[in-house]
Chains A and B, each alone.
Chain A
Amino acid sequence: MASDPQSAANQRIVEDLVSRLRRRQLVGSRAAALETLLVLRQVVSKARSSNINQLVNIIRAVGRRLVEAQPKEHSVGNTVRKVLHHIREEYHTASEKPVVESSFSIAKFVLQGQPRKQTTIVRSGSEARAPLKENDPNDPDSFARVLKPVLMEAIQDVFDELETVYDNISKNAKDHIHSDEIILTLGTSKTVDSFLKAAAHYRNYTVIVAETAPSYGGREMAKSLSSAGISTFLVPDSSIYALMSRVNKVILGAHAILANGGMFATSGSLLAATAARSYSTPVVVCAGQFKLTPLWNLYHEHGALDFGDPSAVLGFDEGDLVEKVDVINPYYDYVRPELLDVFITNYGDHPPSSIYRLLKETYDDEDNEL
């Protein structure tokens, strides 16, 4: 890291977030995404860079640092990727360089298949903008001066999107939940909570909440839903299968949505999704776009599963049992795409098979590894 005061300030706020992530003082994917964004905004505003590569490298370095602090909090990396994507986009618009088909070759021809965003670069033609100059030896700040305001705006857009993510996911809730339906959900998820509450404005329906041992997050969820006037039943995890024959829809939250259309979610989700499939009950996942993660499952069925405190499962009140017995308490399940029917995001509804394309449109390939 450079030693000038500005980058020192940057370093301080980055380290602050790193330590909070590492100590798990900051949990929850949206909270982590918001904090990451605040740090990135700071970093971009203070960063000294005279060309795009420098800027990207600075952001990637910060991103790497944050991701390493808490690799299981995928929303951190996703936010960094998204910001990078926006920065490149703004840069291309600002530099007005036609994206040169540098050389036509068969390999390039093959790459045409690559899913891309439909080119949305709207030329703001009338706006007379100062030409973007990179690496200008006479005026090294020219690059930053011209580009920074645009970038701050782009970051603000991402920020606004995160702020309104629940509302945007929930806005079509009434189209997914119909009157007199019985919905099964589990654990606590703010996204699912707001989705169900939004639907309750229009529909009378019943929610069954599995309490999701050992965190028993379902109890909180049931309390919150019932206090919003939704008819709610709290049941133990063991009764999911018995009740499934009467359930119309299973609605789950996600921890991270993966490139193959599968997801990591609170443990218990896999059981519910598998049980749902045996009754052909649709499984709906509500998640913000910041949970899209350009990762394949890569055997995370075990590897990335985070294990929680065993004492939540078998307390010390059980006496010497605790010493004799291995206790397993994973935080997350990996749910295969075949078990899921639809992802409801703030960017519309998507079947698991198109998550791959969505990812390609949201992030740049080179950022998959920060």
Chain B
Amino acid sequence: MADFQIYESYQSLLKNENLSTPLAAILALTEMMMHSNAGTMFELLNELKGGAEALSRQTSNPIGLNAGCELFIEFITSFPQDAASFSELKTELIRHGQQYAEQALTYRAKIAELAFDFIKDDSVILTHSYSRVVLQTLLLAHKRKRISVFVTEARPRGLGIKTAEMLTAAGIPCTVVLDSAVAYAIDKVDFVLVGSEAVVESGGLVNAVGSNQIAIIAKAANKPFYALAESYKFHRMFPLSQYDLPSHNPGVLSFPQALGARALPASSGLPSKSSSVSSDNGSPIRITQEDIARNNPDVDYTRPDLISLVFSDVGSLTPEGVSQYLVGMFAG
């Protein structure tokens, strides 16, 4: 057992471009089971929980993988234990995990098909950052309808540019808008379509940072805000605020002096541009993109009342529907 490093396994699984974090987590747990020499269900569950925790600890943004681990462990807990021997049961469970991960890869196509019905000819769609399921939906829509797409740049990682490149390559008219230009663009948009990191119990959404502000702007402009989420992203978690997310840590939004990295609070406390500013002793202070990224969150939480619909492989759900669904799944 000790020789198995779940985090390494998880990381190597993630190299597969198609595999999202919850699925990679499920697969990592199955690998862990293969190496496990637990003799009882109780031991096995304990090991798995330990593995899930280890994964969660080593990742800066564990929300997605938590959802996967949670699903798999809940499944194992409720699995009928009528197999002949424990090792048989274990093999059975491993098979289920692998089978599911394989099957789950078809969910994006299913969601794309569902969301497609909501895309009108000549739609202008705003999307945020990079999401495989959104990309698949847009590509499907492009095959049968005329669409054009605004993609936010999605700083700091700039994944929106990746989306824009892929869409442009597919021949979809596509423009990258600054994260700060969403409010400017929103009146030209028919609806907003985003992917998700996780869908949580409140019916809200955890997704790449910026989704929340886009949802707020969309609400103010009376534009529908649609989220796409595979059902393995349904996560039994109830964030009360942005700072209640597991991805929040003291470093996010901290002021420089608190980190102790920089002296001279007077000048660096100001939101100065990345241009150099002379500090008291004359040496220029530079704030790099990396500095900014370090102080900023990766994901944010979008309240359910800002979301019009969530499309998932189990159907189109209202945010209320999502939370009812989650309760049915884990509390039923």
Contact = CB atoms under 8 A, between A and B. Distances in A.
A/B contact in complex, CB under 8 angstroms? yes
Contact of B118 (A110, A113, A261, A296): A296
A356 B75 contact: no
Interface string A93-120: 0000000000011110111111100000
Interface in A252-310: 259-261, 296, 298-299, 303
A354 interface: yes
Given A259-B316, A353-B320, A105 B96 contact: yes
Interface in A338-370: 353-354, 356-357, 365
B120 interface: yes
A114 B314 CA distance: 8
Contact of B328 (A113, A260, A353): A113
A260 B309 contact: yes
B326 interface: yes
Contact of A107 (B74, B78, B100, B318): B100
A298 B117 CA distance: 7
Contacts of B159: none
Contacts of B26: 106
B48 to A, nearest CB: 14
Nearest to A103: B96
B232 interface: yes
B97 interface: yes
A105 B309 CA distance: 27
Interface in B290-332: 308-309, 314-318, 320-321, 324-329, 332
Contacts, number: 76
Interface string B77-88: 011100000000
Contacts of B79: 104
B207 interface: no
A113 B72 contact: no
A110 B80 contact: no
Interface residues of A, number: 24
Given A105-B96, A113-B234, A260 B318 contact: yes
Main secondary structure of the interface of A (DSSP, over half): loop
B320 A105 contact: no
Interface residues of B, number: 36
Given A296-B309, A299-B120, A112 B329 contact: yes
A177 B113 CA distance: 44
Contact of B325 (A105, A114, A298): A114
Contacts of B309: 260, 296
A109 B26 CA distance: 14
Given A106-B96, A260-B309, A299-B120, A115 B324 contact: yes
B120 A113 contact: no
Nearest to A365: B315
Given A106-B97, A109-B74, A113-B328, A353 B232 contact: no
Nearest to B101: A106
Interface string B20-55: 000000100000000000000000000000000000
Nearest to A260: B318
A341 to B, nearest CB: 15
Contacts of A112: 328-329, 332
B99 interface: yes
A221 to B, nearest CB: 31
Nearest to B123: A299
Contact of A356 (B232, B318, B326): B318
A296 B116 CA distance: 12
Contacts of B74: 109
Nearest to B74: A109
Nearest to A302: B120
Interface in B54-82: 71-72, 74-75, 78-80
B314 to A, nearest CB: 6
B102 to A, nearest CB: 11
A303 B121 CA distance: 11
A351 to B, nearest CB: 9
A111 B234 CA distance: 12
Given A298-B117, A298-B118, A356 B100 contact: no
A104 B103 CA distance: 14
Contacts of B80: 104
B326 A113 contact: yes
A108 B47 CA distance: 24
Contacts of B318: 260-261, 337, 353, 356
Nearest to B100: A106
B316 to A, nearest CB: 6
B317 A356 contact: yes
B78 A109 contact: yes
B231 interface: yes
B325 A115 contact: yes
A19 B327 CA distance: 47
Contacts of B316: 259, 296
Interface of B: 26, 71-72, 74-75, 78-80, 96-97, 99-100, 103-104, 117-118, 120, 231-232, 234, 308-309, 314-318, 320-321, 324-329, 332
Interface of A: 104-107, 109-115, 259-261, 296, 298-299, 303, 337, 353-354, 356-357, 365
3 closest Cβ contacts across the A-B interface? A113-B325, A113-B329, A106-B100
13 contacts: A106-B26, A109-B71, A109-B78, A109-B329, A110-B71, A112-B332, A113-B231, A113-B329, A114-B325, A114-B328, A115-B325, A260-B318, A356-B320
Given A105-B96, A115-B328, A365-B315, 16 more contacts: A106-B26, A106-B72, A106-B75, A109-B71, A109-B78, A110-B232, A113-B231, A113-B234, A113-B314, A114-B328, A260-B308, A261-B318, A296-B117, A296-B118, A298-B118, A353-B320
